[in-house]
Amino acid sequence: MTQKFTLGAAIAVAVSLSIAAFAGASDYVFEPTSTEVKKGDDVIVSVRLKHKPTGKMVSDAVIAQTRIDMAPEGMAEMSAPLTAVPSTEPGVYSFKTDLSMQGQWLLSIAAKVQGEPETVVGKITFRASR
Ligand SMILES: [Cu+2]
């Protein structure tokens, strides 16, 4: 009886530990503020970073890496420059880019969040229209 209880407790501990291990970068998600943008130069693409368990926006992330290319259209080698620009609201990260072709563009983004050892990554598709 005692042994059974101990085993149950051990399993409960193991389960909660593995939940803690899975919590981390996957607690955060990048979402587009709008997936529709106009084709052309000096286009602004914006994403917001959300902490999923609390629903709170994360405004102090440090963007480590960004790339935008036409991978969704089978043109992964067709990339465009990205320049960070001041955001319009807390938790929103905006970039200026040149989307020279209409179609789908994939933004890949990596960020460091305060207190989170893992790098948070996101892939967001934007559609550039005429
Ligand atoms: Cu293209």
The model's pTM is: 0.81
- Cα 37 to ligand 1 centroid, rounded to whole Å: 15
pLDDT of residue 87: 86
**Model confidence over 105-123: pLDDT tens digits?**
999 999 999 999 999 999 9
pLDDT of residue 24: 87
- Cα 120 to ligand 1 centroid, rounded to whole Å: 27
- Cα 41 to ligand 1 centroid, rounded to whole Å: 14
Question: Does residue 91 have a pLDDT over 90?
Answer: yes
- Cα 122 to ligand 1 centroid, rounded to whole Å: 21
pLDDT of residue 88: 79
Give the DSSP per-residue string, 27-62: GEEEEES-SEEESEEEEEEEEEEEETTTTEE----E
- Cα 91 to ligand 1 centroid, rounded to whole Å: 30
